Chain A
Amino acid sequence: MEEIVLETQNLTVYYNGRPAIEGISLRIPRRRITAIIGPSGCGKSTLLRCFNRMNDLIPSARVTGRVLFEGVDLYGPDVDVVEVRRRIGMVFQKPNPFPKSIYENVAFGPRIQGIRDRRKLDEIVERCLRAAALWDEVKDKLHQNALTLSGGQQQRLCIARALATEPEVLLMDEPASALDPIATMKIEDLMRELAREYTIVIVTHNMQQAARVSDYTAFMLAGEDRVGRLIEFGPTQQIFTRPRDRRTEDYITGRFG
């Protein structure tokens, strides 16, 4: 049995009073990569954003049901949202480094947390850049502007930045869709490496990527009513070789209309 880090129970998210996703019950195992796949508009990103309360930033959004992180309801009254986002980091589709140096990008989170000691910061920056498989490429230009890096390097810098606050979970929303195949492979290899220590949830519309990189796969689909639902969840190997649901089969085999 896998140990569960994140769990949704009958989760429904409304935008402007209309459900975008409905009745999602899903369990995310620790130190595994879980991929959420499905066609555009099925609510994969909406679901991902529930895991660190990013939907709070959308004024019309309302959430019912529960999202448990280590058994605690993330939407409970006493929860510190900043702390949630520290422990559950996020990496977005387009690399979005701050227009600062490589060093300052990674040191940003720890500084906000109050770490001032230069040696300590140096240590964190090096550890995170190493973990993001970027250290060797940037160690001689740490004070260069991050925007001078290539797209793939920028995305790995964003991963390093996310790691700097010592999260337990990394949420990744299409982290490689803006990258070329080589940079994509580097990100995928990095994800496998990171999964030794972190729980990763990735949203991707690239099915091959989900098949290559993930341990578990969740397939979501919006019905005629345009409300996204979880259709099937299981080990990736099973989903891609013998899905149980006809709708998963149709999507996986590319026959989805």
Chain B
Amino acid sequence: MQARVTLERDLSAIRQDVLRLGGMVEQAIDRCIEALKRLDVGMAREIIAFDEEINRMRYQIEEACLETIATQQPMASDLRAIIAAMFCATNLERMGDHAKSIAKLTIEMADEPLLKPLIDIPRMAQIAKEMLRQVLEAYVEHDPEKARAAVARDDEVDALDEQVYRELITYMMQDPRTIFRATRLLWISHNLERIADRVTNIAERVIFMVTGELQELN
């Protein structure tokens, strides 16, 4: 088989950049939960600044995809790989936005001690991160089964989100003075739930890239 050297090189660079972006988002998720646990405003500000880099990387990937389409006229699996990469980059960037939102909420809450010791929220973040890692592996390995497996854990995140909601409602009913902090924790929980949802979006594109079938998971 005769290789298309330039196209292969472009595709490989795009794939590497998507993985790099995935790594950056993973780091943002990790750090925003760390900042939250410690109510560390400085760290939260760093995450907000880091989001700019995530955005830049996303645009870099989009531009590389556009350029490859324009100059290489990719077809079939090559075209699907590029479309999947663009879609993954968009979704990863939005995951980064959710981490940034969590950092902003952390800054808002930092004047008072935490409402309660955090158990479920870090757990949600951990699962979401694992899902993200797994779907990125599926992306590199062209493995639709692994993509499906990553999505399977979305239910765990949803259940935890529900649990956090019920618990915080209880706090707010008992003592209205907790409302400010409780609603912010609710939003944080919701941001984590959205991050996990975006893993599903990426998984759908991994499956599309490999099989050519666009199907909705969940």
Task: List residues of A whose CB falls within 8 A of some B CB.
Answer: 207-208, 211, 240-243, 248-250, 252-257
Contacts and interface: CB of A to CB of B under 8 A. Distances in A.
Given A241-B212, A242-B212, A253 B77 contact: yes
Nearest to A248: B76
Nearest to B74: A253
A207 B2 CA distance: 17
Interface residues of B, number: 16
A211 B76 CA distance: 11
Contacts of A254: 2, 4, 7, 75
B74 to A, nearest CB: 7
Given A254-B7, A255-B1, A256-B2, A208 B73 contact: yes
Contacts of A240: 75-76, 79
Contacts, number: 42
Interface string B70-86: 00011111111000000
B215 to A, nearest CB: 13
Interface string B1-42: 111100100000000000000000000000000000000000
Contacts of A241: 75-76, 79-80, 212
A211 B3 contact: no
Interface of B: 1-4, 7, 73-80, 211-213
Given A255-B2, A255-B3, A243 B73 contact: no
Contacts of B212: 241-242
B177 to A, nearest CB: 58
B214 to A, nearest CB: 10
B65 to A, nearest CB: 16
A215 B1 CA distance: 29
A208 B2 CA distance: 19
A242 B7 contact: no
B75 A207 contact: yes
A87 B79 CA distance: 39
B1 A250 contact: yes
A242 B81 CA distance: 12
